[in-house]
Structure 1
Amino acid sequence: MTVIRRTLIVCAVGASLLASGLASAQDIKPRLIRFGYGLNEQSNQGRAAKVLADEIEKLSGGKMRLRAIGSAALGSDVQMQQALIGGAQEMMVGSTATLVGITKEMALWDTPFLLNNVQEADALLDGPVGDKVRAKLEEKGLIGLVYWENGFRNLTNSKQAVTKLEDLDGIKLRVMQNNVFLDSFKSLGANAVPLPFSELFSALETKAVDGQENPYNTILSSKFYEIQKYLTVTNHVYSPWIVLVSKKWWDGLSKDEKNVLLTAAKTSRDFERKDTRAEAAKALDELKGKGMLVNVLPAPEAARMRDKLTRVNAGIAANVGMDLWQETQTTLTKMRAKK
């Protein structure tokens, strides 16, 4: 065999191996993750979803990539939860309130006037009580990674200022698809109408409902000020969001991949809470500037609401289990005693 021919053969083999290697590299695609959420890309949910996506890509060295899909494009919270359980979608963030039909312990977070401030919320959600509630999801086909903050909920409507309990009488108020919220506002005299969030703006615009209740951030980012005149500061419920993973999909991940998701989720949680609170501090002034008439519910009227909700709270305690309820109350009592 001549030197020239040997050289040509070696070159040909080398080129073949190089081409094969390039093909193999191209075949190794990153693990894609569809992450659904209800609000728009400019909202606090949207900003935190971007942080989560960036962290996952960075921590995985590009081997995992999260595609954040907002504006309920993948469906309502309830629809996405079912998609996760069935393994048709990988991840989402949504309200804990819409999970109550799947995991009854989630109703704990719907307890009216349970928490006084965000410090209590953080301690409860990130501590043993929050961990126990999250752990209950696994047997239902979901993995709860972390809690994000939605915030303290307040009332808006297009009919009149709510300055006393009786002002709620007959107001058609959209509530989440959750029996605690339905029972709570029925007890307060409102005509509670359960609707998915994705249908809310249209329902308010067409007067199918008169009002709704959400944190300042959501009222602002969803532009409810365009169709709602009155905002009453009630802080009646602290509302968390929860980052969820499909258990079917989770079970197929390596230990390293699971660690990437959990670490990234904790980073997104810390960012989201700080971002949400900073935005909420400014959102109320912005809503006033956009023409909303804002009033603070007087303390005696808030106390009257609490009294009206005693039966609802007793029902929540029975539903979530007395052990969990008592642990929650004991934890809060200890925190408040330290002040």
Structure 2
Amino acid sequence: MSIARRTLVAAAAALAFAAPLAAQAQAQAQDIKPRLIRFGYGLNENSNQGRAAKLFAEQVQKASGNKMKVRAIGAAALGPDTQMQQALIGGAQEMMVGSTATLVGITKEMALWDTPFLFNNAKEADAVLDGPVGQKVMDKLQEKGLVGLVYWENGFRNLTNSKRPIAKAEDLDGIKLRVMQNNVYLESFKLLGANAVPLPFSELFSALETHTVDGQENPYNTILSSKFYEVQKYVSVTNHVYSPWIVLASKKWWDGLSKDEQKVLLEAARASREFERKDTREEGAKALADLKAKGMQVNEVPVAEVAKMRGKLAQVNEGIAANVGSDLWKETQGALSTLRKQ
């Protein structure tokens, strides 16, 4: 056999041997499934939560080269915040976004964000939440089996009622006001003169409709989407509490990820934070305009009256300071003082 012929035969044999190996490698590649991440949230997919969860999922899939896939599951299909938190702690679920208020029973430092009139505006909230204080509070979660990635925005809470505009602190006297089943909210509004009534949110519209309660407090987006304009006449802009949401991961699950995978998730979470805050604020401004168009009377509570309300809540703040720790409280107030001098 000639040298040329022997070369051709050897090449053909090599190709014949390589073909099944290539096919096997391709089949194995197809069998490699992306890491599936269940990301639970409470609102529906058309909400600000839903839109931000969708963006987070897209960012993760793109940055990981399809090696990680987030399945965003809304409408509380995986349970309320408290149930999802426990699922994360146990390692039965990977990720979620929910209220910081529901974490207070797990990590007491989270009560910091329930402080009435803590922030004067969204700029202050962003700076503190994204700065050393916010990180310190998030880091406490790891002791309890959770990893905090970023804070999203629910929004500033404002008052509505069917009796009268709340233009000064005394206007709250005798108003039957529904509040969350949370001791800080109950004590705060009692001190402000309201008859604070704890009720589940699911019962609120009916209670307003039947005048079991006169009013309630929530961000504009919730007031609009819940159609409270049908049973309430007045919106009083108090911005009395800023409500953050927090993106969480299961520590059991997180610790099993590579550093690269953790980086992908953290960067995607930060991108979702910027998107969600902008989206929520734009939606809030539109919601307020819609509430006016639907006939609600809107008044802004003067700064001097807000200061009076804040002064009446000194003992609430003292209780929160004692609960979260004096060092954390002082650091928070110091950060706010610095921001307000700029």
Provide the TM-score with structure 2 as the length reference.
Answer: 0.87
Instruction: Tell me the residue number matched to 2:159.
Output: 155
Separation (CA, whole Å) in 1 of partners of 2:106 and 2:319: 17
Match of 1:314 among 297, 315, 318: 318
Letter of the structure 1 residue corresponding to residue 41 of structure 2? Y
The CA deviation string for residues 223-261 of structure 1, in whole angstroms up to 9 with x for no partner, is 443444432211001111111111111111111110010
Instruction: Tell me the residue number matched to 1:125.
Output: 129
Distance 1:286 1:9, change over 3 A: same
The correspondence of residues 15-26 of structure 1 with structure 2, limited to 5 A, is 17=21, 20-26=24-30
Percent identical pairs in the alignment equals: 70
Instruction: Tell me the residue number matched to 1:217.
Output: 221
Distance 1:222 1:296, change over 3 A: same
Match of 1:173 among 162, 170, 178: 178
Q: Where does the alignment leave 5 or more consecutive residues of structure 2 unmatched?
A: 1-9
Distance 1:223 1:82, change over 3 A: farther
- Count of equivalent residues: 332
Q: Is the 8 A contact 1:143 1:245 kept in 2?
A: yes
Distance 1:244 1:17, change over 3 A: same
Distance 1:26 1:224, change over 3 A: farther
The CA deviation string for residues 78-117 of structure 1, in whole angstroms up to 9 with x for no partner, is 1211121111211111111111111111111111111111
Give the superposition deviation at 1:272. Answer: 1.2
Match of 1:236 among 237, 240, 252: 240
The correspondence of residues 16-165 of structure 1 with structure 2, limited to 5 A, is 17=21, 20-158=24-162, 160-164=164-168, 165=170
Q: Where does the alignment leave 5 or more consecutive residues of structure 1 unmatched?
A: 1-5
Q: Is the 8 A contact 1:38 1:72 kept in 2?
A: yes
Match of 1:253 among 236, 251, 257: 257
Give the superposition deviation at 1:212. Answer: 3.0
What secondary structure is seen at the aligned counterpart in 1 of 2:147? Answer: strand
Distance 1:323 1:243, change over 3 A: same
RMSD (Å), alpha carbons = 2.8
Distance 1:46 1:26, change over 3 A: same
Give the superposition deviation at 1:201. Answer: 5.4
Separation (CA, whole Å) in 2 of partners of 1:79 and 1:207: 32
Q: Is the 8 A contact 2:179 2:217 kept in 1?
A: yes
Instruction: Tell me the residue number matched to 2:6.
Output: none
Give the superposition deviation at 1:54. Answer: 0.8
Separation (CA, whole Å) in 2 of partners of 1:321 and 1:228: 39
Q: Is the 8 A contact 2:37 2:95 kept in 1?
A: yes
Distance 1:318 1:13, change over 3 A: same
What secondary structure is seen at the aligned counterpart in 2 of 1:62? Answer: coil
Separation (CA, whole Å) in 1 of partners of 2:68 and 2:303: 50
Distance 1:19 1:200, change over 3 A: farther
Give the superposition deviation at 1:166. Answer: 4.6
The CA deviation string for residues 44-80 of structure 1, in whole angstroms up to 9 with x for no partner, is 1111111111101111111111111222222211121
Separation (CA, whole Å) in 2 of partners of 1:37 and 1:205: 28
